[in-house]
Amino acid sequence: MDEATYLKSYDPTAYPSIAVTVDVVALTIRDSKLCVLLVERGAPPYAGHRALPGGFVKAETLDEAAKRELAEETGLNPGHGVLDRVHLEQLKSYGDPTRDPRMRVISVAYLAFAPELPEPTAGSDAAGAYWVPVDEAKDLAFDHDEIVADGLERARSKLEYTPLATAFTNPEFTISELRQVYAAVWGEELHAGNFHRKVLSVPGFVEGTGGTTARGGERGGPRAKLYRAGDATSLHPALLRPTREDRVR
């Protein structure tokens, strides 16, 4: 049998039906806290429960589906300048046969880092949408507690070995602002002087713009230097979390 004949006679209903969804762990920093975007489900299953934004994949790629879901829940169209700066990467696939009570659903989760995303606007299938501090994102629908935990650990690890902390900042930033990103994502306080020294010792991590802030700090003093992301794709040496540094020692 040639391929054309085989495909013409192929019966997809002979196999179990499986649906594919995407779920997005969207992280941003609001009021110095790391927050995740959650929606309130407006229909069963889990009506009234909080969940990650997501939905069934349509006639689109997985990346396109994740971008669509993020755009719908943030109220930003794909051409919006802020949304264009979002770092989006595939996190993990989740396929426990019992994860969705409706049918066998495999979800491909995505992790999104973004600076200063606005108040979200719930999509048509959600009763509400809001930013929630990550330590308050619990008792979620489906297996979304596990997905959030995996996304948070991925984000924390990426900040150790890659320059993706700059995805949480404006294009130009101070070292103090970058330190606030690390402190919020890691959930740990960082020594200002040590952090400043470590950042500037990593080749290609940041580069000076030649500019400074418009004014000095809250206590006066000189204006802070402004930096932008450098051309490094990984950090050598890595910036380890203080608790991990203690274990390494």
pLDDT, one tens digit per residue, over 146-205 is: 999 999 999 999 999 999 999 889 899 999 999 999 999 999 999 999 999 999 999 999
Instruction: Give the CA radius of gyration of the chain.
Output: 21
Tokens of 150: 């995996």
Q: Which of the four pLDDT bands, split at 50, 70 and 90, describes residue 42?
A: confident
36 has a pLDDT exceeding 70: yes
16 has a pLDDT exceeding 90: no
Average pLDDT score over residue span 7-28? 93
Residue 14, CA distances (Å) to 10, 97, 105, 218 in order: 9, 19, 18, 69
Tokens of 63: 């990346």
117 has a pLDDT exceeding 80: no
Number of H helices, E strands in the chain: 7, 9
Residue 216 pLDDT: 74
* Distant-in-sequence contacts of 75-81, Cβ < 8 A, 24+ apart: 75/118, 75/119, 75/120, 75/121, 76/117, 76/118
Tokens of 238: 């890595």
CB 222 within 8 A of CB 216: yes
74 has a pLDDT exceeding 80: no
